[in-house]
Amino acid sequence: MINLELPKKLKASANQAHQVAAQIFRPVSRKYDLAEHEYPVELDTMAAMVEGLNDSGQGAAGATLGRDSKSTTAESGNANGGNMAGLLNVLETSWGDVGLTLSIPYQGLGNSAIAAVATDEQLERFGKVWASMAITEPGFGSDSAAVTTTAVLDGEEWVLNGEKIFVTAGERSTHVVVWATVDKSKGRAAIKSFVVPRDAPGLSVARLEHKLGIKASDTAVLVLQDCRIPKDNILGSPEVEAEKGFAGVMQTFDNTRPIVAGMAIGLGRAALEELRAILADAGVEISYDVPAYNQHAAAAEFLALEADWEAAYLLALRAAWMADNKKPNSLEASISKAKAGRTGTAVSLKAVELAGTYGYSERPLLEKWARDSKILDIFEGTQQIQQLIVARRVLGKTSSELK
């Protein structure tokens, strides 16, 4: 049974993450929103801190996710490891700024892919790199099985060819986890993930995207042209196992979707706090003792948003807890991501609306949070894809039976 009281050891690291958000991220949030593609030099001061957190097993989203469930109580057998720590920490840093959170050194989404699929030997080699994740291509978005980037074994090296778009931290990261097919004729079963160093011959950044939000984060288009990497840089087994499909690489999402949910939850909390202060200044009182329909219309709206936010928070806790306790959480990961993505967008947009002209201006950060929130409902699987996955799990349908 899940215990919703957070353990003290995770509170300490979450508090440290909140201090980073409050003292480093929030003060420069608008600066880098207005200076897209400019490298946030403030992040350099965080590298040592991040390495220290990772060494203690409490990194924000590092390669230890799902692999370090050592904290187990004798009474309940419950573990609170890297997934729960990652969720709580990313929630706090995203309260400060989502774009800067996505730019934290050594905390790329590719690190979660390494944690999900890597062998113990690979985790030893790649456990402390900064890995972005390259899945999407010009020809597809949400259908991860449509990968056309190829990987051909040539002696002791893999040769990769293809183009990847919307790669978060694609220019700044030290490594890129690339999804590619080793045999197009065998369909999705042949899709594997490869760890590609950013300085590998044949890998180049074609351009950086201009975006609606998360402007502090670099979003790159990567081109792989006869890109060569060592043979053992393929994550997991190189064998094509038709009966397993590409379940191995898809395990990545069971780790990353609750983390993305945490980003939306952190942003949503920031918007709620700002909105509450604005309403208080306007003389709107919010009461938990009086029915919402007997309160100011804005107060009633706020209570509904807060309840929605609380539901998203609890669903994300459940998904992360299940991952730490080695329980299959594909359904719960998709539920948490779908709920949080939708809630983050709804909360931030409604906060802009209720704040009126002040909310639409650049004086507070409300309009920025509204722009930042939309990507959290899109990447790591869109709202529609999450609902499709949930439907398949609940109805017991395969991807070919329910499209």
Q: Do 60 and 17 touch, CB atoms closer than 8 A?
A: yes
Question: Quick one: pLDDT at residue 367?
Answer: 98
Using pLDDT thresholds of 50, 70 and 90, give the confidence band for residue 78. Answer: confident
- The domains spanning 8-122 and 247-395 adopt the same CATH topology: no
Task: Decide yes or no: CATH 3.40.50.720 for domain 247-395.
Answer: no
pLDDT, tens digit (0-9, with 9 covering 90-100), for 40-69 = 998 887 776 666 655 555 444 443 444 554
Q: How far apart are CA 168 and CA 110, in angstroms?
A: 9
Angle subtended at Cα 258 by Cα 36 and Cα 82, rounded to the nearest 5 degrees: 100
Residue 305 has pLDDT above 80, yes or no: yes
Residue 242 has pLDDT above 70, yes or no: no
Long-range contacts of 1-7 (CB under 8 A, 24+ apart): 1/76, 2/78, 2/317, 2/318, 2/321, 3/76, 3/78, 4/314, 4/317, 6/88, 7/71, 7/80
Tokens 């979707």, residue located: 257
Question: Quick one: pLDDT at residue 1?
Answer: 58
At the second CATH level, the architecture of 8-122 is Orthogonal Bundle (1.10)
Candidates 42, 301, 332, 380; catalytic one: 380
Question: Quick one: pLDDT at residue 77?
Answer: 63
Q: Phi/psi at 157 (nearest 5 deg)?
A: -135, 150
Q: For the chain, what percent of residues have pLDDT higher than 70?
A: 89
- Residues 180-187 have a mean pLDDT of 90
Q: Is 332 a catalytic residue?
A: no
Question: Quick one: pLDDT at residue 126?
Answer: 92
Q: Of 73-87, 119-133, 213-227, 228-242, where does mean pLDDT reach its minimum? A: 73-87
Task: Decide yes or no: CATH 3.90.1860.10 for domain 130-244.
Answer: no
For 55, the enclosing helix (H) or strand (E) is helix 47-55
Residue ranges per structural domain of the chain:
8-122, 130-244, 247-395
Q: Do 112 and 283 touch, CB atoms closer than 8 A?
A: no
